[in-house]
Amino acid sequence: MSNIKVGDRVRFLNSTGGGTVRSFKGKDVVMVEDEDGFDVPAYIRECVVVGDDNAQVHSSRRSPIAAPEPAKPVAAQPKVQQPETPVIQETREGEQLNVYLAYLPLEPKNIMQNSGFETWLVNDSNYYLMFNYMNRENNSWTSRHHGIIEPNTQIFLEEFDKSELNALERVCFQLIAYKENKPYALKNAISVELRLDTVKFYKQHCFMSNEFFDENALVYPVVRRDIPERELLISATDLQEAMQQKAREDRRNTPQPVVKHKNNAVNILEVDLHINELLDDTAGLSNADMLQYQMQKFHEVLEQYAGQKGQKIVFIHGKGNGVLRKEIEKELKTKYKKYDFQDASFREYGFGATLVTIK
């Protein structure tokens, strides 16, 4: 006998979707109200109970919404037995944690111009996850979304536009896994930091088909087969060695900003942000792509020397049409207010450079 009753939240096994059971139609069919308010017929054998009316939606590309009103009285139905706790459809693979962060464009055909983005969290496991999603700016963290995600569920976290991309270069997830009202294997608390390549948000081909969404998405693994993508809980020595190794690999494998050390009483660094100094080949890149890459290098240098008070850095941006210079000044006036900045020496750089002093 089926354990489904009126008012249950169900998920369809053989198709995307689900909703709230509103009535029965014969012995084999139930009428399920989806989130848009439409009644959808479904075979009972193709439905699985995932909770009552307050449960999360398991397979809908929508933001979390308030629970619907209680079901209206319906004609008497055959009595069925209801379990005391929600039934979670578990899988053998789900006993290992697999967690992903996904970004979907609001306007896939308009990525290069003004498309915004959605952020989704995917929990492909049999565990409930208590989570905190953060981003890092100026050496401190800000929580963007926190809560609990149910097993085998994907939920909407937030919507943002391209003006926020620089703030999302460094994001972090903290996770605690558990099951309700049943024994389970203990999972360690996890803290994972991710570095997003924000240039990819300007390139349509970077959003690819995936197993979680019908639309193309940019998917970042957070945990795969119980293994975090990057553990933050490492020793200071290991962290320093890893950073030094990464710096060596970066120098060997990727183009780097030209940094020149001046032999003055105060050590002055020169960072040339001309695109031909940063990249060997700019084929296929739009002006917006190149500006984004130049600003990424600007942020990387300031982050690298953030703790060195009194350090002077000359960013050579050229005169041009002033777009790069205006973008640099905008960032200095908003994100780096405590730093001093001014035009660099006119004799050496003309109008094409800005001097920043770390405070």
Please report, for the domain that includes residue 136, its CATH number.
2.60.40.1600
| Residue 248, CA distances (Å) to 144, 241, 245, 270 in order | 33, 11, 5, 20
Mean pLDDT of 41-68: 57
Residue that the structure tokens 């002077």 belong to: 312
| pLDDT for 65 | 33
- Sheet holding 117-123: strands in order across? 153-160, 117-123, 99-105, 218-224, 227-228
Whether the pLDDT of residue 133 is over 90: the answer is yes
Whether the pLDDT of residue 138 is over 90: the answer is no
**51 within some domain:** yes
Is the four-CA dihedral 282, 286, 287, 293 of positive or negative sign? negative
Last residue of a domain, one of 228, 246, 276: 228
The residue segments making up the domain with residue 22 are 1-87
Mean pLDDT of 285-307: 89
DSSP label at residue 204 = G
Confidence of residue 61 (pLDDT cuts 50, 70, 90): very low
| pLDDT for 143 | 93
In the chain, how many domains are there? 3
Q: What percent of the chain shows pLDDT beyond 70?
A: 79
What is the Rg, in whole angstroms, of the alpha carbon atoms belonging to the chain? 26
Whether the pLDDT of residue 84 is over 80: the answer is no
- pLDDT tens for 197-240 read 888 888 888 888 888 888 889 899 999 888 888 644 444 555 56
**What counts of helices (H) and strands (E) characterise the chain?**
5, 19
Q: Tell how strand 312-316 and strand 268-272 pair up.
A: parallel
Q: What percent of the chain shows pLDDT beyond 90?
A: 25
| pLDDT for 238 | 55
- Together in a domain, 125 and 190: yes
| pLDDT for 268 | 85
pTM of the model: 0.45
Confidence of residue 87 (pLDDT cuts 50, 70, 90): low
- Together in a domain, 188 and 213: yes
- Together in a domain, 155 and 78: no
| pLDDT for 162 | 84
C-alpha triplet 352, 354, 359: angle, nearest 5°: 175
- Together in a domain, 222 and 299: no
- Together in a domain, 100 and 200: yes
